[in-house]
Structure 1
Amino acid sequence: MSRKKLKLAFISNDMARKTTYKRRKKGIMKKVDELATLCGISACAVISNPFDSETEVWPNPEGVNKVMERFKNASVLNKSRNVNHESFMMQRIVKAQNELKMQREENYEKEITLSMFQFMQGQNLPSTVEEIKEIHKMIEKNIKEIENKLAALHCES
């Protein structure tokens, strides 16, 4: 049975916010415990309590210190495998920029191809020298592709 979508918003009622905090904190602690038990890993949780100055830790302060020390002493290779949010977002940005660049190049090539076909039909004459040069490059590229295909066909027969 699926749950309805949860609306994430600040809970303005103090009592409701405190009870929700306690309930969700308990749920997070349970999930961390399950993760550590089922996967056989060292895990910890540190939760800053907004209602008093205590910071709550799981399983205990010594366990948290042990896990944090192990993380701090991890090799550079392991640290690079543990990607943080900032580096993840930077990777996504670089990937999106590369995709955008490739799409722009593809669109430009399609525009030149369309201009070439329109020019060949006498519909739209190129207006600049640069446009003529680009059409010439496209024609040369197409001729080379045709020659390569013909050579491949002659090799097969």
Structure 2
Amino acid sequence: MKKADELAIMCDAKTCVLVYEEGKAAPEVFPSHAEAMGILNQFESLPELVPCKEAMNQEIFIIKRIEKLRDQVDKTRRECQDSEIRYLLHKIMHGDPSVLVGLNIEQLTKVGYKVD
């Protein structure tokens, strides 16, 4: 309730809070029952807004967030692979060709691309 009051003051906005507690018949209301009813009636009388381009529900938000995280994972994986190949090339250039012995064809191909 204190935060709602602070928000109202900081943003010059009308706020109300209804807290329904288990076992209580009536909710706790801020700022007062009459003021809260006025704010809620005013809110309900507002025309329905046309959905904006950026609006999304929680499911879409989570899906977009997962996509973003997957992209970050892919980027980090590519950076790690690139670092590993650079490390191998560094060892080879400093006279340790034995690092190539345990590599599979995919790893050798990546090393070849990095050399090119």
Q: Which TM-score bucket, shorter chain as reference? A: 0.5 to 0.7
- Is residue 92–residue 99 contact of structure 2 (8 Å, CA) maintained in 1? yes
1:60 to partner: Cα distance: 2.3
Helix, strand or coil for the counterpart of 2:92? helix
Pick aligned residue for 1:110 from 67, 80, 83: 83
Which runs of 5 or more residues in structure 2 are unaligned? none
Alignment match, 1:136: 112
Aligned residues: 109
Pick aligned residue for 1:47 from 19, 23, 30: 19
Q: Give the letter aligned to residue 86 of structure 2.
A: T
Q: 1:65 to 1:84 in 2, by over 3 A?
A: farther
Q: Give the letter aligned to residue 138 of structure 1.
A: K
Alignment match, 1:75: 50
Alignment match, 1:65: 41
TM-score by length of 1: 0.53
1:47, 1:79 → 2: CA distance? Answer: 30
Pick aligned residue for 1:98 from 64, 68, 71: 71
Q: Taking CA–CA contacts closer than 8 Å with sequence separation of 6 or more, which of the two structures ends up with the larger relative contact order?
A: 2
Which runs of 5 or more residues in structure 1 are unaligned? 1-27, 141-157
- Is residue 45–residue 64 contact of structure 1 (8 Å, CA) maintained in 2? no
1:104 to partner: Cα distance: 0.7
Q: Percent identity?
A: 22
Structure with the largest fraction of helix = 1
1:33 to partner: Cα distance: 3.1
1:108 to partner: Cα distance: 0.5
Root mean square deviation of aligned Cα: 3.1
Q: Can you list the C-alpha shifts for 1:64-111, whole angstroms capped at 9, x where unaligned?
A: 2322554x723322872xx77666555544433322221111001111
- Is residue 17–residue 36 contact of structure 2 (8 Å, CA) maintained in 1? no
Q: Give the letter aligned to residue 8 of structure 2.
A: A
Q: 1:33 to 1:118 in 2, by over 3 A?
A: closer
